[in-house]
Amino acid sequence: MSKENVVILDYQDAKKAARTLWECFHDDGVADYVVRHLENDPERKKQVELQYYESYVVSHIMKGLVVGVKGDNEENSDTFESVAVWVKPDSGSLDDYLTLIRSGFAKLAWITGAEGRRRVFGVLFKVLHDYYEETMAMDPENGENTWTLVYLGSTPAARGKGNVRKIFDFIINNYVDPKGSLIYLESSAIRNLPIYERFGFRAINDIYLGDVNTDDHARMDVMIRGPNGKPWKYLEQAREKYNYVIPEESVAK
């Protein structure tokens, strides 16, 4: 099998997948928020970031699905080309005690310190969980039949190679559309909205981590892809509920 194809990643791939996500997102707004308290300690900051991504990867290998495009030069590289982290409709809780311990989040909690624990577990996890639950409760018929895209990133060297389309096609054709599932994601970069819109996503809300009255915050735009790529039936209702102003960067609206 060509290493340019999408493959399901396993535990042996976790560290390289984490390095891939770090290279993709280490200057991302959400990533910056999670480790802003370590700005004056770059070595520890990188250690925490790598542990953060590895914990996400391992927990989703355990209960979700992690896929990637390894690339033909994988043996000579510290990273894969692209990695995507997914929650399945039947994944269940990913923040139960055993999962947090086994995936490495407990180690993350130790090395990031009290302020880091507040940012990850007290803010990030809580905000994402609460908004997801509130949003999907609007769809009593199909809300539980939802895949969540947690992370999707390609290294700078791999961008423009079509890996994002490969990954979406793999997940949508093999898992999502055959069961009429929704896909939910939070985009941490407004510039990426048009990319997701090509695959049928539409933005419904913006959510924030931290204090919006200071520089210590991060924005994410929630997007949903309806069954078989059609607009989600509660799209306009959700936008109205959250008083969402569609960004100028959006193309599909």
- Read off the CATH number of the domain in which 27 is found: 3.40.630
The yes-or-no verdict on residue 4 having pLDDT over 80 is: no
Residue 3: band (very low, low, confident or very high) from pLDDT cuts 50, 70, 90: low
Distance set, CA 141 to CA 183, 227, 229, 230, 234 (Å): 14, 12, 17, 16, 11
> What percentage of the chain reaches a pLDDT higher than 90?
92
- How many domains is the chain built from? 1
Closest-CA residue to 150 (of 210, 88, 205, 84): 84
Distance set, CA 90 to CA 29, 126, 147 (Å): 29, 20, 9
> What percentage of the chain reaches a pLDDT higher than 70?
99
In a domain, 122, yes or no: yes
State the DSSP H helix or E strand holding residue 203, giving kind and residue range, or none if neither.
strand 201-210
The yes-or-no verdict on residue 1 having pLDDT over 60 is: no
Contact criterion met (CB below 8 Å) for 192 and 152:
no
Predicted confidence at residue 95, as pLDDT, reads: 86
- Report the length, in residues, of the chain: 253
Beta bridge partners of 203: 223
Neighbours of 249 (CB within 10 A): 14
In a domain, 130, yes or no: yes
**Cα(251)–Cα(87) distance, integer angstroms:** 27
Convert the pLDDT of each residue in 92-147 to its tens digit: 988 898 999 999 999 999 999 999 999 999 999 999 999 999 999 999 999 999 99
What is the domain extent for residue 150? 6-184
In a domain, 225, yes or no: no
In a domain, 210, yes or no: no
How do strand 182-187 and strand 146-154 relate by DSSP bridges? parallel
Residue type, 2: S
Quote the distance between the C-alpha of residue 247 and its chain's center.
20
